[in-house]
Structure 1
């Protein structure tokens, strides 16, 4: 494609025979040589496109920018109505209202396109429209709000907060972040808990699970990386996920240099890697808590280098991944801001996996899971450092 565009003007000066022979020669080269384009190497095996990106030349980027539109919440907010405690998830409805899942009652806060709080609902309790500890949220194509509890079920509400039904999944443990497809299928990673089993395999299934609209298991997909310490394998194979408008599934691995695209049925289509400014933690070891009699009573996660913590796709099919130019200096339970602002950035890839731009985040930013959400050309970043949500317009 690059050769065709580059030689467009000279092509007009060729006679038809010479042009045809030259094109035929170029096509032959494609079968004799590996595909190299702008610092990326590409190969296709069994229908899967593998892209290995080289370092991005700062002088040869796509020039994509983010323009701040508004900010929701924040410690410096002068309006009590927009104060957020600790936002976890955001999602846009079809009428462009922003739904925020907060960790303080009422758990769901809804803002219109002007940033005005227009409703809130979902208090703590065990009633049909109440929650004990909500951890995930999405909106399906029918305009129903899905909220996952810290157990293995999802409560479905209307966008006004009225109870509709409950979905009990076959996920045997905590239901983590999830997405709902247009036909109601639920896509979620396998729970990423640290679990110690003295006998047998701790992690012997896939990275992802797919359920039907009633919560019944359909299939698993996504190949795990086999860590030596099986206790750490669930956590170390943790992912963040998103869907595009066609229900293709995108994963970015939190502790591995892997970005993947799957079909709506769970077939691998694209695998991306890129240069990192730090090394991956190849063989982490879980920290076992052992009593004097040798009985294991607990397990702590080791310090692992975090590769990414969020993913989204825009309406041009580009893939956005949150990553780092270095490792944060301070961490506890998740990535925590360390007082400096130079290490968090967004990588941007084409729909085919080519790295085309990087955008550093200048604000004092504390990323965590579900940090980034994109719909169309609107990009939202959740900042745990000051309990805020920043909305940006993607400027090409």
Structure 2
């Protein structure tokens, strides 16, 4: 999950607008803001719900670091270029998607290197700008590539080989697997979630994207994250720059919407220059702002959500973020609770192990272990 990028960009946050700039529109617009009366929950930093949510949140807050991978120099298998995603695809195994080296590396539970596959390029078994990794069984990987493709790789006698290529009409931002359906997040025709069979057939699109009369603005502001809560039969999604979390059925039914109360939206301005050129400015008057960084579903019907707080200083220093806030939500109801701000990006959870990634100050995978449910009670 790459840091946010300026869009459409005729202008950047450091550029000055002339007084004569006309037709300014500030985003998010009123039609994209929901009253709290329509929400399942308003999740606050100080909220203290009980039950399953609070119990898991307390365990998550007490997770301890048990393994760290990634060095500044050393063996090639131990030096990452950019940790993009992690997937614990089989017992005692986890795979790391490296978006700088355009490859997948597999390690055992102790962090010993097992194998790697993939290389830079546009052809079979190659990645141009890999964005997300999911497994579908122990011997099948699904990769979203920002060159508008989803690639399915399967183990054969000759090793990992690409078996399916899904050509997209949009840039994928995230993906997850719901049963035998691949869910890809990205803007297309006003929808932000697109379901495909594992053979590559487009099944349906669902989930309303950002509402705007300008299609380019609507598409760009419909980037976000998605998580597939298989046990709850729910696809949880969040647009990158808005505080709303939504739960959908696979048929497209909107089941619930919740809001993060402490989410600060970034200033976004749309307008027309004196010479008639359109512009969109992300970061207009920015100070502190948030964006969704992680959505990850757990087997228990829960979802881990993380938002990145950015400041002028963290952006100036090109840090990943100033603070990463972690929440836990119910995929069934949309109720949520704040956990804390100490965990790195949570990229997968398998059993009691939490696989996280960071690229600051250099790329690492950090594995944490949850206390047992009995120990936490």
Specify the TM-score bucket, using the shorter chain as the normaliser: 0.7 to 0.9
CA 1:126/1:254 → structure 2, altered by over 3 Å: closer, same or farther?
A: closer
1:103 CA displacement: 2.5
| Structure 1 partner of 2:314 | 330
The answer to which structure, 1 or 2, has the higher relative contact order (CA under 8 A, 6+ apart) is 2
| Structure 2 partner of 1:243 | 228
Match of 1:377 among 352, 366, 372: 352
Cα RMSD between the aligned structures? 3.5
Alignment of 1:358 onto 2:348: no
| Structure 2 partner of 1:101 | 97
3-state secondary structure, aligned to 1:329: helix
Contact 2:69-2:364 within 8 A present in 1 as well: yes
Provide the aligned length of Structure 1 versus Structure 2: 323
CA 1:221/1:359 → structure 2, altered by over 3 Å: closer, same or farther?
A: same
CA 1:58/1:309 → structure 2, altered by over 3 Å: closer, same or farther?
A: same
| Structure 2 partner of 1:69 | 66
| Structure 2 partner of 1:84 | 80
1:300 CA displacement: 6.2
List per-residue Cα deviations over 1:60-98 (Å, max 9, x = no partner): 8643322112112143x6655311111111111123311
CA 1:155/1:285 → structure 2, altered by over 3 Å: closer, same or farther?
A: same
3-state secondary structure, aligned to 2:143: strand
| Structure 1 partner of 2:298 | 314
1:99 CA displacement: 1.0
Contact 1:167-1:215 within 8 A present in 2 as well: yes
CA 1:218/1:109 → structure 2, altered by over 3 Å: closer, same or farther?
A: same
List per-residue Cα deviations over 1:293-337 (Å, max 9, x = no partner): 7566x86644573232111233333321112566463338x9834
CA 1:68/1:250 → structure 2, altered by over 3 Å: closer, same or farther?
A: same
CA 1:393/1:317 → structure 2, altered by over 3 Å: closer, same or farther?
A: farther
Match of 1:275 among 231, 254, 261: 261
List per-residue Cα deviations over 1:262-317 (Å, max 9, x = no partner): 223332222221320x5324x722588x7x97566x86644573232111233333
Contact 1:106-1:120 within 8 A present in 2 as well: no
Match of 2:135 among 135, 139, 143: 139
| Structure 2 partner of 1:168 | 166
CA 1:73/1:55 → structure 2, altered by over 3 Å: closer, same or farther?
A: closer
1:50 CA displacement: 1.7
List per-residue Cα deviations over 1:13-67 (Å, max 9, x = no partner): xxxxxxxxxxxxxxxxxxxxxxxxxxxxx98x8xxx7223355257986433221
Hey, what's the Cα distance between the residues in 2 that align with 1:245 and 1:251? 14
Alignment of 1:213 onto 2:209: no
Q: Which runs of 5+ in 2 are unaligned?
A: 1-35
| Structure 1 partner of 2:27 | none
The structure with the greater share of residues assigned to strand is 2
Hey, what's the Cα distance between the residues in 2 that align with 1:97 and 1:328? 39
Alignment of 1:50 onto 2:26: no
Match of 1:180 among 153, 177, 180: 177
List per-residue Cα deviations over 1:219-261 (Å, max 9, x = no partner): 2211233246553322323221111243521113321111122
Contact 2:228-2:236 within 8 A present in 1 as well: yes
* TM-score under structure 2 length normalisation: 0.72
Q: Which runs of 5+ in 1 are unaligned?
A: 1-41, 192-202
3-state secondary structure, aligned to 1:135: strand
| Structure 1 partner of 2:369 | 393
Match of 1:260 among 230, 246, 254: 246
Contact 1:105-1:123 within 8 A present in 2 as well: yes
Hey, what's the Cα distance between the residues in 1 that align with 2:75 and 2:339? 34
CA 1:361/1:121 → structure 2, altered by over 3 Å: closer, same or farther?
A: same
CA 1:328/1:178 → structure 2, altered by over 3 Å: closer, same or farther?
A: farther
